[in-house]
């Protein structure tokens, strides 16, 4: 797209921009002069001020913007004063973005009169998917008339040039172009990626790269020239606001400051390069233009002097501000959930038993009928087949392809887009086709989703449900049989459910929907249809629509005989998922001797009940399908040992799969690797002999 003939930019806007540029310069200078005080790593916007301010001035309170870590001028431009930015610079308690938890220029904001900002991370390019998810959500909201806006919202995703080489950025470009979303990808190209030059990093700039994404409009602009940048961004924003189509703006900028306060320009740049960049200082370019237009130099000098004074006063005030109190360090790991007690009818009279897969389908159907903000997407979940395990069958036909739809093979996008969808008030239910394929989405799950509530100081919990078919049976082989709960359980800030029967599945899924936090539902493929011998009990009476089962509540599936317990002859098996059925089959060989606890959720974990029962029985086996070494099961066994040590008659044991890199496809080898009832029986016999 061509920028077109230059139009007049008012003197008021030009002077406003000059003032903001001088503020940004004064702030950078002050930070550099006070390196002993500005001890936390930070970047400044020196060299990028023109394009950032030009962008900021176009945005309204209904718009969304995702700045990256060099976008301090953009934040000034949308209305954040130096003092408030400095509170984050110095990690103070009243830091408006993170409460002293995150780096400078890592904002998050829901302030009513300003553009909205989801939590921003440091991982380069990772904001592209969550921000595209915002645009996806806004399109959905407008299509279903769920909210009215003063004017069509625009979403801006700001990126450094080297971040565009990230694969996840390509996923965002692809989705935005395919679905024609109202998003602007603003790429600020200063030709450096820390010490990596453009020649070392890429074959083309973002403008040429974007040509491969059909439907993604493009524009180039000199990002050091405020007037050109202002006109370009006005045209870009107006286009997206009216046409509801995506745009990429490639803005050529310069890097005058350091990469960060810790990675300094003198480490890797020579004087010729620095001189070339300083020659394009946006503040100097705008100053010269204003003088050419008849603005008195005395006025500009006064503006620069006042900016320095304002920045100095703000810095002194920020230094004096209070630090966070130590006890706040554990605030906002999760947002409070309204679901704390089991409620509703679990076993309505006159109902037949249903399989687990139908429990999930019915739960989602009931939720989607009731809540128009709910939608389901992922690979192959649409009307054509309704999931490779038929776990979403009928939903596409009932709700249409705007509420239940297929995506490309983009696990990172599927998972990461839920950040933006949640931020605008939607409840995305998404699916990763097999647990083995969740790894491309782990980056988004850890970097963006799990940290969002904590680092935004409670402003942006990510409310989603991520469905993950999991587990081995029947020769699924090395890429369709894996267990991933230990990896997920190491991610702080997400919840994990692992139901073993239809009633639990439906109740937990309902709880997950009303929970404002991110939830991963691990759904064992072998239990979906109860086709695996011994899993008939995974079928249950279908609970009523109002049934909800809270997270963190284990279930005693089988109690030991109290008389045997009094004689010290009993033990407890703690397990979940398919382990429940191995344990039940094995326990039948030891009548009255074995108690079985089904954890039902792994995060939060019902440690209280487990510890109580282990202290009663004095022997405990933690049973899992996962490979044992360094697993969730081993970690939990350690905590049980520590908390129940004085009551144990034997070490807490674990049983799981052999420590192999993958599940073999051959059925004989698969059986040898996995636990089963026979192996559990042998372990019970061994433990009871103590």
Residues annotated catalytic, as ranges = 480
Centroid of chain to Cα 658: 32
Instruction: Return the bridge partners of 603, or none.
Output: 496
Per DSSP, the residues of 468-518 read EEE---SS--TTSS---HHHHHTSTT-EEE---SHHHHHHHHHHHHH-SSE
> 91 — alpha (psi -120 to 50), left (phi > 0) or beta?
left
Phi–psi pair at 374, nearest 5 degrees: -90, 135
Alpha-carbon distance 666 to 653, whole Å? 29
> Residue 7: is it exposed, middle or buried by C-beta count within 10 angstroms (0-12/13-18/19+)?
exposed
Per DSSP, the residues of 330-385 read GTTSSPPPS--S-BS-SS-TTPPEE-HHHHHHHHHHHHHHH-TTEEEEETT-STTT
* HSE toward the beta carbon, residue 193, CA cutoff 13 A: 20
The label of the residue with tokens 């645009």 reads 135
The label of the residue with tokens 């921009």 reads 17
Q: Which residues of 570-589 are buried (b: 16+ CB within 10 A; e: fewer)?
A: bbbbbbbbbbbbbbbbbbee
- Nearest one of 527, 522, 457, 519 to 484, comparing CA atoms: 522
- Nearest one of 423, 439, 430 to 405, comparing CA atoms: 430
The label of the residue with tokens 């997400």 reads 494
Per DSSP, the residues of 73-130 read HHHHHHT--HHHHHHHHTT-TT-TTTSS-S-TT---B--TTS-BB----SSTTTTHHH
- Nearest one of 3, 456, 392 to 207, comparing CA atoms: 3
- Nearest one of 589, 51, 31 to 314, comparing CA atoms: 31
The label of the residue with tokens 């405020």 reads 226
Alpha-carbon distance 254 to 656, whole Å? 56
Q: Is residue 517 within 8 Å of residue 492, measured between CB atoms?
A: no
Alpha-carbon distance 132 to 155, whole Å? 8
SS3 annotation, 156-170: EEEEEHHHHHCHHHH
């Amino acid at each position: 797209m061509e920028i077109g003939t230059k139009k007049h930019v008012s003197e008021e806007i030009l002077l406003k921009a000059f003032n903001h540029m001088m503020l940004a310069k004064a702030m950078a200078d002050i930070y550099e002069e006070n390196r002993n005080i500005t001890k936390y790593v930070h970047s400044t916007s020196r060299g990028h001020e023109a394009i950032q301010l030009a962008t900021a001035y176009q945005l309204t309170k209904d718009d969304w913007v995702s700045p990256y870590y060099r976008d301090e001028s953009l934040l000034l431009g949308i209305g954040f004063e130096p003092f408030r930015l400095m509170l984050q610079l110095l990690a103070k308690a009243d830091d408006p973005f993170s409460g002293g938890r995150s780096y400078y220029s890592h904002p998050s904001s829901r302030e009513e009169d300003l553009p909205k900002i989801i939590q921003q991370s440091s991982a380069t390019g990772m904001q592209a998917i969550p921000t595209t998810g915002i645009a996806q959500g806004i399109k959905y909201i407008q299509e279903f008339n769920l909210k009215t806006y003063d004017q069509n919202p625009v979403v801006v995703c700001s990126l450094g040039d080297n971040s565009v080489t990230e694969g996840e950025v390509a996923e965002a470009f692809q989705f935005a172009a395919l679905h024609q979303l109202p998003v602007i990808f603003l790429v600020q190209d200063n030709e450096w990626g820390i010490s990596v030059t453009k020649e070392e990093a890429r074959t083309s700039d973002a403008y040429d790269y974007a040509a491969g994404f059909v439907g993604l409009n493009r524009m180039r602009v000199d990002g050091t020239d405020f007037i050109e940048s202002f006109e370009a961004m006005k045209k870009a924003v107006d286009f997206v606001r009216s046409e509801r189509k995506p745009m990429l703006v490639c803005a050529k900028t310069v890097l005058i400051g350091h990469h960060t306060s810790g990675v300094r320009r003198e480490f890797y740049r020579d004087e010729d390069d620095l001189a070339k960049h300083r020659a394009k200082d946006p503040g100097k370019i705008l100053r010269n233009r204003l003088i050419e237009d008849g603005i008195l130099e005395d006025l500009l000098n006064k503006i620069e002097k006042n900016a320095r004074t304002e920045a100095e006063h703000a810095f002194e005030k920020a230094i004096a501000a209070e630090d966070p109190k130590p006890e706040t360090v554990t605030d906002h790991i999760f947002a409070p959930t309204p679901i704390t007690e089991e409620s509703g009818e679990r076993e309505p009279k006159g109902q037949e038993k249903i399989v687990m897969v139908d429990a999930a389908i019915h739960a989602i159907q009931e939720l989607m009928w009731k809540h128009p903000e709910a939608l389901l997407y992922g690979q192959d979940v649409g009307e054509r087949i309704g999931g490779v395990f038929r776990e979403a069958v009928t939903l596409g036909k009932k709700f249409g392809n705007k509420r239940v739809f297929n995506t490309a093979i983009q696990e990172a996008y599927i998972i990461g887009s839920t950040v933006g969808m949640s931020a605008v008030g939607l409840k995305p239910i998404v699916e990763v086709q097999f647990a083995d394929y969740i790894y491309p989405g782990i980056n988004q799950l850890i970097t963006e989703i799990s940290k969002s509530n904590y680092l935004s100081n409670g402003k942006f919990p990510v409310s989603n449900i991520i469905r993950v078919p999991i587990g081995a049976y029947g020769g699924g082989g090395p890429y369709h049989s894996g267990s991933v709960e230990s990896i997920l359980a190491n991610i702080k800030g997400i919840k994990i459910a692992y139901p073993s029967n239809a009633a639990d599945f439906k109740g937990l899924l309902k709880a997950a929907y009303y929970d404002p936090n991110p939830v991963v539902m691990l759904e064992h493929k072998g239990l979906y249809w109860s086709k695996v011998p011994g899993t008939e009990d995974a079928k249950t009476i279908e609970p009523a629509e109002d049934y909800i089962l809270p997270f963190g509540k284990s279930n005693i599936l089988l109690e030991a005989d109290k008389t045997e317990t009094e004689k010290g002859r009993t033990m407890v098996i703690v397990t979940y998922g398919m382990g429940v059925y191995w344990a039940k089959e094995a326990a039948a060989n030891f009548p009255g001797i074995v108690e079985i606890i089904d954890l039902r959720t792994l995060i939060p974990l019902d440690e209280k009940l487990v510890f109580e029962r282990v202290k009663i029985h004095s022997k405990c086996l933690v049973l899992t399908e996962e490979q044992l070494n360094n697993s969730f099961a081993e970690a939990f066994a350690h905590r049980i040992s520590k908390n129940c040590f004085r009551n144990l008659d034997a070490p807490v044991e674990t049983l799981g799969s052999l420590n192999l890199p993958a599940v073999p496809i051959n059925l004989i080898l698969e059986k040898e690797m996995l636990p089963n009832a026979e192996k559990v029986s042998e372990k019970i016999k061994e433990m009871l002999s103590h």
